Structure 1
């Protein structure tokens, strides 16, 4: 069975980003639908896959990483409005039997992502 996992690393501080809310949105013909939500733990990961089992269906998705509060809570001096608040990563799942991992490497002024393992 396929599954989708994620984690967030604060590359500016060299540690996992804990306490970040994440929503998983399925982009369906009838409109965007929230199909999963999680909060990162002390290791910057979700406690369980954000999508797995029968809910894991190939298609287009978005992960919404709500990083604004995390960045503020870290004592950084941020401009208003924040340069980064919610980061949206759109991607496709083409196989119902693979493990997809979408990590986020984060700093207050930028981010990157890739298909991990």
Structure 2
């Protein structure tokens, strides 16, 4: 009985940790090639009391994704900054060396996926799922 309770608690803690790490995610997709943007450093910041503070960072994988930043989202304003100078698909200096996306988390219980679609001279973003 005690072992069953312990295993149930351990499973719940593992699932909570997995959900926490995935509260905010992103994806860079090159719309010219249809491929994920690999190797792009991404920083996640939160705004508190008029100041920005880094709360997580990652590098996009081969599929262009950062699955999570290891933080539990809260209702606040966030900012994702993408260092496009590290993106290999840009055989030359990118027109946009940095892409910054600022967004509001208004329901911290919801997963927030923020994809960025890029091309040589433009980008767009939206709230994904």
TM-score by structure 1 length?
Answer: 0.84
In the TM superposition, what whole-angstrom CA distance separates every residue of 1:13-42 from its partner, at most 9, and x where no partner exists? Answer: 221100000000111105110001000001
| 86, 90, 93: which one aligns with 1:69 | 86
Equivalent residues, number: 109
Task: Name stretches of at least 5 consecutive residues in structure 2 with no aligned partner.
Answer: 1-18
Tell whether the 8 Å contact from 2:44 to 2:55 is kept in structure 1 after alignment: yes
Tell whether the 8 Å contact from 1:5 to 1:51 is kept in structure 2 after alignment: no
Change (3 A) 1:34 1:75: closer
Q: Secondary structure at the match of 1:68?
A: helix
The within-5 A match list for 1:85-104 is: 85-104=97-116
Q: In 2, distance between residues paired with 1:100 and 1:74?
A: 26
Structure with the higher helix share, 1 or 2: 2
Task: Name stretches of at least 5 consecutive residues in structure 1 with no aligned partner.
Answer: none
> Which residue is 2:44 aligned to?
24
> Which residue is 1:8 aligned to?
28
Is residue 43 of structure 1 aligned with residue 63 of structure 2?
yes
Could you tell which deviates more after superposition, 33-42 or 2-11? 2-11
Q: Which runs of 4+ in 1 moved over 4 A?
A: none
